[in-house]
Amino acid sequence: MSRACPERSRKVTNIAIAGVGGQGIVLASDVVAEAALCAGHQVKKNEVHGMAQRGGSVVSEIRFGDRIYSPLIPDGDVDVLVGLELLEALRHAHRLRPDGLIIADELRLQPAVRPPGAPEYPPDIVDRLRASAERVVIVPAAELAAEAGNARAANTVLIGVLSQHLDLPREAWHTALRSCLRPSLVEVNLKAFELGQRHV
Amino acid sequence: MATTAPSATCALLSGDEAIARGAFEAGVRVATAYPGTPSTQILEAIIEESRSRGVEESKRPSDSSPIASSPLRLHAEWSPNEKVALEVGVGASLAGARALVSMKHVGLNVASDPLMTASYVGVRGGLVIVTADDPGMFSSQNEQDNRHYAPFAKVPMLEPADSQEAKDFTIAAFELSERFDTPVLLRITTRIAHSNSLVQLGERTEHEPSGFVCEPAKTVMVPGNARRRHELVEARTIALAKYAESSPLNRIEKGDPLIGVICSGVVYQYVKEARPKASFLKLGMTWPLPEKLIRRFAKSVEKLYVVEELDPYLEEQVRGMGIALAHKPTAPRTGELSPNAVARFLGSRKKPGRAPAQGLPPRPPALCPGCGHRALLTAVKRLKLFVSGDIGCYTLGVQPPLQTMDTCICMGASVSVAHGVEKATGRSDNMVAVIGDSTFVHSGITPLIDIVYNKGTSTVIILDNETTAMTGHQEHPATGKTAGREPTTRLSLEDLCRAIGVPHVSVVDPYDLKKTRELIKAAVDRDEPSVIIARRRCVLLDRDRLRHPYRVEAERCAGCGQCLSHGCPAIADVTPKGERKKQVRILPQLCASCGVCAAICPSNAIVATGVAGNE
């Protein structure tokens, strides 16, 4: 089921998770970091707190492998960009490696605040996103999450899709989900993860 | 959240959590802080540590036994502000306990008064002060470089470069503090505070407080004593500089002799990323500097660079030693560094990456749907008043479409700036000061006393959401709960304002737009000072409240767009292109059913659905 990293010989895998404050980005990055840790990798993770979280653009980064220095991924080195929202995915698409992969939720969220003169939400967002990387997977994450039993587990669906593209054992993902989530939410999220992992 | 590796002695911790862990292992007895991004999680993690390890939290003075036989092991508190936090830390240290005081960079400005003299007094138990700087201003009003505080206050400073060092350096800081009789600054930045990396965990070692000892020559800073202490401080700096030469906190990493880099903190990681093979002088202790070590390193490399974030703090000192650098003094002085920026600075020939996508709408942070601050600011906006603002979520009111904030300087300044404007212009009927509950307790009380004392007539609105919201919902004196969420004596804001002598103090629910507006209008027109407490619990703490999402009745909607004027994320502008008449839709999944838009609508076209439902 699981496929190899984009380039297995490289020593560090770089994942960026972008979205809107409140979508569960920190939780998603906790799960990825924990799974990499369970698989025996060195891990660094970086996230944003405070004012930026109030409905603003948020990005979280996870790096794992043998030896990692910077907690920030250098531009042009992102292996997989996970977008919890289309516009936020496009905002970070330029940071991908030339052969990098985008996994994005099909969700479109208008910015809560529109300063005067600010551009409109791009109507051709899907086309632009598809043009921004060689490999782009767009996922109906809310639909799959609802099928799992909770529409708010869209972030976990996307982590499930991500797991197809990383060389981490299935057990590591399950352990990670169990340790990062409240016990009452574990079942629904395991299901959401499975639906993501099976998504073609 | 801290996550644990399969091995029980290793954990993936943020820098903040690692500092907390270090303090815990070092046997810290008293930990104090005022919340401020990016330092907040330090005290939160200490509370967690003490809970998970079963350490008894301190009891309230009224029900604790005398100090000698008290069961106190670890006391963690949110202090009302950073000055108080540091002074409590000084007291604990003088009683022989190890104390940790943490704050954001601007917090150290507030605490700088005790810092400058605590340096003279020194310590008994180790005293470590964490300053968490915010290059790039993710959540701050300035990006001051607090490294300057170390030479200014004449105290040693350590700068960790990852979470393991954050823990190790915290323990080392306590030891240095006691060995050299000095408070120690531990300086981190946002990328250290909020980056996670693996940390080896150790056991807690208890340090029994010796108790307070009478020694006025050390602890009573009258001029005669302070003169002698100042001489000791100067001698201490010389001794520390000598220590720095051979301290394991500073290390040379021999690599390519053609390029040598002096750096500290997270910048070390960026340089390692950009030039892994270079030679490094990695400084863990950045005050006082090891001059001989720097000279030795400079001689060993062909081209010497100093790479640092914000001010040329290290660069100027290295140049001051007469050492030539391979670069002009032109490194960026604003914003944060990144691996890419460092690579460019070091002359990387790697092709620049792709440019970001153009023409994308920005997504700035916004007040939440149902936020009481939005309701209050909407009432203020409709009265067309000058708004003297402050630090908190409500500062987001400066953005369109609300645009209801005219000044924001520092914590507490809303009240005093309004007073200054009044004294300069001779009128206060055209303005209000707005300040959050936690910010008011932090530093809004003294300027309110000033207004009353100096016959001001300004109106102060306290936006009371019953928490410290922006930093993630910490308790404060007016919530009636301690840092550990135990009930305590609640500070009554209304009683406090009356006691100060404010003749008109009222409390209102800002969701009641009409009453709020009337109260504000009456207050600003009055020739006496007024305080209005706009009390509405933070919506993020109130998620279980039953919601009845509102909707727009299209046939009654006049298309005026007034409901869009307060910037609620739950109200979507769905006007087709070219259409002049506005069309709006209320998103039921976001609507918090505060009803403010319904109160604004001149056509009464916004109505509650009557369909109750929790998220």
Question: Do B182 and B82 share a structural domain?
Answer: yes
CB neighbours of B275 closer than 8 A, spacing ≥ 6? B259, B261, B343, B346
Contacts of A55 in chain B (CB under 8 A): 363, 365-366, 368, 569
Measured distance CA(B222)–CA(B82) in Å, rounded: 24
Exposure string (b/e) for B290-303, b if CB count within 10 Å is 16 or more? Answer: bbebbeebbeebeb
End-to-end CA distance of chain A: 11
Is A9's pLDDT higher than 60?
no
Q: Does A76 touch chain B (CB under 8 A)?
A: yes
Question: How close A160 comes to chain B (CA, Å)?
Answer: 20
Contacts of A74 in chain B (CB under 8 A): 273-274, 338-340, 343
Measured distance CA(B551)–CA(B57) in Å, rounded: 49
pLDDT 10s digits, B262-310: 999 999 999 999 999 999 999 999 999 999 999 999 999 999 999 999 9
Q: What is the CATH number for B313?
A: 3.40.50.920
Searching chain A, which residue's CA lies closest to the CA of residue B357?
Answer: A91
Closest CA to B119 of B214, B230, B36, B13: B230
Q: According to the model, what pLDDT value does residue B1 have? A: 42
Contacts of B472 in chain A (CB under 8 A): 49
Closest CA to B391 of B470, B338, B464: B470
pLDDT 10s digits, B132-174: 999 999 999 999 999 999 999 999 999 999 999 999 999 999 9
Measured distance CA(B555)–CA(B13) in Å, rounded: 56
Count other Cβ atoms within 10 Å, centred on residue B228: 13
Question: Do B378 and B307 share a structural domain?
Answer: no
Question: Do B179 and B160 share a structural domain?
Answer: yes
pLDDT 10s digits, B95-122: 999 999 999 999 999 999 999 999 999 9
Task: Please name the residues between 66 and 85 in chain B that touch chain A, using a CB distance below 8 Å.
Answer: none
Here the tokens at position B584 are: 């709006």
Q: How far is CA A151 from the centre of its chain?
A: 17
Question: Do B126 and B8 share a structural domain?
Answer: yes
Contacts of A130 in chain B (CB under 8 A): none
Measured distance CA(B78)–CA(B490) in Å, rounded: 14
Q: Are B177 and B186 in contact (CB under 8 A)?
A: no
Q: Does A34 touch chain B (CB under 8 A)?
A: yes
Question: How close A178 comes to chain B (CA, Å)?
Answer: 11
Q: Using only C-alpha atoms, what is the Rg of chain A? A: 16
Measured distance CA(A85)–CA(A82) in Å, rounded: 9
| Phi (first) and psi of residue B261, to 5 degrees | -125, 130
Give the one of B194, B569, B572 whose C-beta lies nearest to A55's C-beta.
B569
- Please tell me whether residue B263 adopts helix, strand or coil conformation: strand
Q: Are A28 and A155 in contact (CB under 8 A)?
A: yes
CB atoms A71 and B40 under 8 Å: no
Question: Do B151 and B94 share a structural domain?
Answer: yes
Measured distance CA(B188)–CA(B201) in Å, rounded: 20
Mean pLDDT of B202-225: 95
Q: According to the model, what pLDDT value does residue B102 have? A: 98
Task: Please name the residues between 87 and 146 in chain A that touch chain B, using a CB distance below 8 Å.
Answer: 87-88, 90-91, 93-95, 110-116, 118-122, 128, 132
Measured distance CA(A127)–CA(B516) in Å, rounded: 48
User: Residue B71's pLDDT band (boundaries 50, 70, 90)?
Assistant: very low
Number of domains in chain B: 4
pLDDT 10s digits, B494-546: 999 999 999 999 999 999 999 999 999 999 999 999 999 999 999 999 877 77
Look up the CATH architecture of domain A12-109+127-198. 3-Layer(aba) Sandwich (3.40)
Give the one of A56, A70, A93 whose C-beta lies nearest to B273's C-beta.
A70
Measured distance CA(B325)–CA(B202) in Å, rounded: 41
Q: Does A46 touch chain B (CB under 8 A)?
A: yes
Q: Does B52 touch chain A (CB under 8 A)?
A: no
Helices A154-163, A141-148: inter-axial angle, 10-degree rounding? 100
Contacts of B359 in chain A (CB under 8 A): 119, 122
Asked which of A67-71, B466-470, B571-575 is least confident by mean pLDDT, the reply is: B571-575
| Domain locations along chain A | 12-109+127-198
Closest CA to B606 of B569, B574, B559, B546: B559
Please indicate, yes or no, if residue B355 is contained in any of the structural domains. Answer: no
**What is the torsion angle, in degrees rounded to the nearest 10, for the CA atoms of residue A148, residue A19, residue B474 and residue B336?**
150
Please indicate, yes or no, if residue B615 is contained in any of the structural domains. Answer: no
Question: Which string of DSSP letters, residue by residue, matches A47-75?
Answer: ---GGGGTTSEEEEEEEEES----SSPPT
pLDDT 10s digits, A121-164: 999 999 999 999 999 999 999 999 999 999 889 999 999 999 99
Q: How far is CA B30 from CA A82, B46, B177, B307, in A?
A: 42, 10, 15, 36
Contacts of A128 in chain B (CB under 8 A): 357
Give the one of A48, A87, A112 whose C-beta lies nearest to B569's C-beta.
A112
Question: How close A109 comes to chain B (CA, Å)?
Answer: 10
Is this prediction's pTM over 0.90? yes
CB atoms A49 and B139 under 8 Å: yes
Contacts of B338 in chain A (CB under 8 A): 72, 74-75
Asked which of A129-133, B90-94, B321-325, B327-331 is least confident by mean pLDDT, the reply is: B327-331
User: Residue B351's pLDDT band (boundaries 50, 70, 90)?
Assistant: confident
Count other Cβ atoms within 10 Å, centred on residue A88: 26
Interface test with B, best of A37, A42, A85 (most B CBs within 10 A): A37
Exposure string (b/e) for A54-74, b if CB count within 10 Å is 16 or more? Answer: bbbbbbbbbbbbeebbbbbbb
Question: Do B143 and B12 share a structural domain?
Answer: yes
Give the one of B37, B354, B362 whose C-beta lies nearest to A49's C-beta.
B37
Question: Do B94 and B75 share a structural domain?
Answer: yes
Q: Does B398 touch chain A (CB under 8 A)?
A: no
Q: According to the model, what pLDDT value does residue B614 have? A: 41
Measured distance CA(B317)–CA(B39) in Å, rounded: 28
Task: Please name the amino acid found at residue B45.
Answer: A
Q: Using only C-alpha atoms, what is the Rg of chain B? A: 27
Q: Where is B77: in which H helix or E strand?
A: strand B75-78
Count other Cβ atoms within 10 Å, centred on residue B50: 23
Q: According to the model, what pLDDT value does residue A66 have? A: 87
Q: Where is B242: in which H helix or E strand?
A: helix B223-246
CB atoms A50 and B364 under 8 Å: no
Is B49's pLDDT higher than 90?
no
Measured distance CA(B4)–CA(B361) in Å, rounded: 39
Q: Which of B194, B228, B245 is the last residue of a domain?
A: B245
Is B314's pLDDT higher than 80?
yes
CB atoms B360 and A122 under 8 Å: yes
CB atoms A112 and B363 under 8 Å: yes
Is A4's pLDDT higher than 70?
no
Measured distance CA(A150)–CA(A156) in Å, rounded: 11
Measured distance CA(B111)–CA(A36) in Å, rounded: 41
Please indicate, yes or no, if residue B377 is contained in any of the structural domains. Answer: yes
Q: What is the CATH number for B535?
A: 3.40.50.970
CB atoms A43 and B196 under 8 Å: yes
Q: According to the model, what pLDDT value does residue B6 have? A: 44
| Sheet of A57-65, strand order | A135-139, A96-105, A78-83, A12-20, A57-65, A42-46, B195-200, B10-14, B3-4
Q: According to the model, what pLDDT value does residue B64 have? A: 40
Average pLDDT over chain A, rounded to an integer: 91
Give the one of B3, B362, B367 whose C-beta lies nearest to A180's C-beta.
B3
Q: According to the model, what pLDDT value does residue B349 have? A: 75
Mean pLDDT of A38-43: 94
Q: B123 has which bridge partners? A: none
User: Residue B331's pLDDT band (boundaries 50, 70, 90)?
Assistant: low
Q: How far is CA B528 from CA B26, B446, B502, B503, B517, in A?
A: 53, 18, 8, 7, 18
Is B250's pLDDT higher than 60?
yes
Q: According to the model, what pLDDT value does residue B66 have? A: 40
pLDDT 10s digits, B61-70: 444 434 443 4
| Phi (first) and psi of residue B285, to 5 degrees | -115, 115
Q: Does B359 touch chain A (CB under 8 A)?
A: yes
Q: Are B46 and B101 in contact (CB under 8 A)?
A: no
Domain hosting residue B581, numbered range: 550-608
**Length, in residues, of chain A:** 200
CB atoms A112 and B567 under 8 Å: yes
Q: From the DSSP assignment, how many helices (H) and strands (E) are in chain B?
A: 21, 23
pLDDT 10s digits, A69-83: 999 999 999 999 999
Question: How many cross-chain Cβ pairs, A to B, lie less than 8 Å apart?
Answer: 170
User: Residue A87's pLDDT band (boundaries 50, 70, 90)?
Assistant: very high
Task: Please name the residues between 378 and 397 in chain B that touch chain A, using a CB distance below 8 Å.
Answer: 393, 396
Greatest CA separation for chain B: 82
Q: Are A47 and B194 in contact (CB under 8 A)?
A: yes
Percentage of chain B lying above the pLDDT 70 cut: 94
Q: How far is CA A112 from the centre of its chain?
A: 22
Closest CA to B440 of B456, B455, B460: B460
Mean pLDDT of B201-219: 94
Closest CA to B598 of B557, B569, B538: B557
Q: How far is CA B185 from CA B17, B119, B312, in A?
A: 17, 11, 19
User: Residue A54's pLDDT band (boundaries 50, 70, 90)?
Assistant: confident
Please indicate, yes or no, if residue B357 is contained in any of the structural domains. Answer: no
CA angle B456, B460, B462 (to 5 degrees): 155
CA angle A186, A190, A193 (to 5 degrees): 135
Measured distance CA(A160)–CA(A61) in Å, rounded: 17
Count other Cβ atoms within 10 Å, centred on residue B587: 15
Here the tokens at position B131 are: 């300053």
- Where helices occur in chain A by DSSP H, the ranges are 25-38, 86-92, 125-131, 141-148, 154-163, 170-180, 183-198
Ramachandran quadrant class, B370 (left: phi over 0; alpha: psi -120 to 50; beta: rest): left
Q: According to the model, what pLDDT value does residue A189 have? A: 97
Measured distance CA(A99)–CA(B218) in Å, rounded: 65
User: Residue B609's pLDDT band (boundaries 50, 70, 90)?
Assistant: confident
User: Residue B330's pLDDT band (boundaries 50, 70, 90)?
Assistant: low
Q: Which of B245, B264, B280 is the last residue of a domain?
A: B245
Average pLDDT over chain B, rounded to an integer: 93
Question: How close B365 comes to chain A (CA, Å)?
Answer: 4
Percentage of chain B lying above the pLDDT 90 cut: 85
Asked which of B18-27, B397-406, B410-419 is least confident by mean pLDDT, the reply is: B397-406
CB atoms B361 and A51 under 8 Å: no
Q: Are B287 and B157 in contact (CB under 8 A)?
A: yes
Contacts of B363 in chain A (CB under 8 A): 20, 55-57, 87-88, 111-112
Question: Do B92 and B47 share a structural domain?
Answer: yes
Q: According to the model, what pLDDT value does residue B62 have? A: 43
CB atoms B1 and A180 under 8 Å: yes
Question: Do B275 and B339 share a structural domain?
Answer: yes
